[in-house]
Amino acid sequence: MIVPIRCFTCGSLIADKWEPFITRVSAGEDPGKVLDDLGVRRYCCRRMLISHVDIIKEVINYTRPI
């Protein structure tokens, strides 16, 4: 849903890398090379970005008004 701020395993900051990552991968670059360029070396952090599914725009339609 929302990009996690920190890696669940090691606690490293990853949210600041989401926008450059998704922009470059959408442009056709290899995700592994993009993560290397962004300085994401640990495999736990890499899986946080690679496996994230951004569905907040779909879920927000089903929330109840307060």
Would you list which residues are annotated within the binding site for Zn(2+)?
7, 10, 44-45
Tell me the binding residues: 7, 10, 44-45
The Cβ of residue 4 has, within 10 Å, a number of other Cβ atoms equal to 14
- Separation CA 40–CA 56 (nearest Å): 24
Query: Helices 43-50 and 31-38: crossing angle, nearest 10°?
Result: 120
